[in-house]
Amino acid sequence: MLDAHAHVSFKKFNRDRTQVLERCRLAGVGVVDCAVTLSTLERSLELSSSYEFVYSSAGVHPYKVGRLSGLQLQELLRSIEESVEQLVAIGEAGLDYYLDAGSAELQREVFKRVATLAKEYALPLVVHARGAEEEALHLLLELEVERALFHCYGGDRSTALKILESGYSISLATNLCFSEHHAKLARELPVEKILLETDSPYLSPFRGRRNEPVFVLEAVRKLAGIKGVSERKIAEAVERNARRFYGI
Ligand SMILES: [Zn+2]
């Protein structure tokens, strides 16, 4: 199984990262770690070079956009370019109209820059879109981005179908385990098109507990229940989808 999106490089794992990854090894769960700052990028690259089941992606989170100076943004984009050979994807990047993020205009500009990087280096793009799924889709089509994943998708069904029709992918996160909206989406989308992720340390399926990549198996269990298919079959299908998307 593969957790299609997590942040093991974040500070929240500083205390027990080794144990967290050991649990992944034991459970046979691979991880695509997503870095969004200079320090998490450095850590993520260390992890993906030390663990054969950890892969790195790097981008500029919309939440950070308004908090970075022009110079810091340049520096982050340059570091991403310098590390590009060790990355399996660019992102996450996108638009978030719920978070206290930068202005919509600035978010759009940075999203376009990151999406253009993905195109230039022929890497898939991980998209964070909240309250802006449709708009993000239009931008991707306009920029002619080929491979994109709407990670932690929480938009509506009709936009989800448009995303899939455009040849892009959707990943559902472990909030599937407790959110009726996400469970409903899972019911309506074909398994052949879905990826699963934890987005850990966030969105834990266990109340009051930090999320971690191995809990992606909870999302597998939930999806298996929804689809009436065995957990093994679901795990195989979503892992295949994730590996195809990232080319790993
Ligand atoms: Zn994330």
4 with 31: CB under 8 angstroms? no
pTM for the full predicted model: 0.97
Predicted local confidence at residue 29, as pLDDT: 98
CA of 5 to the centre of ligand 1 (A): 6
CA of 216 to the centre of ligand 1 (A): 14
pLDDT in tens, the chain (248 residues): 999 999 999 999 999 999 999 999 999 999 999 999 999 999 999 999 999 999 999 999 998 898 999 999 999 999 999 999 999 999 999 999 987 767 899 999 999 999 999 999 999 999 999 999 999 999 999 999 999 999 999 999 999 999 999 999 999 999 999 999 999 999 999 999 999 999 999 999 999 999 999 999 999 999 999 999 999 999 999 999 999 999 99
Predicted local confidence at residue 98, as pLDDT: 86
Give the separation between CA 92 and CA 129, rounded to whole angstroms. 9
CA of 128 to the centre of ligand 1 (A): 7
Domains assigned to the chain:
2-246 (3.20.20.140)
Predicted local confidence at residue 133, as pLDDT: 97
CA of 199 to the centre of ligand 1 (A): 5
Predicted local confidence at residue 111, as pLDDT: 97
CA of 10 to the centre of ligand 1 (A): 10
Return the residue matching tokens 């920029």.
143
CA of 192 to the centre of ligand 1 (A): 22
CA of 197 to the centre of ligand 1 (A): 9
CA of 224 to the centre of ligand 1 (A): 24
CA of 112 to the centre of ligand 1 (A): 18
Predicted local confidence at residue 102, as pLDDT: 74
CA of 26 to the centre of ligand 1 (A): 24
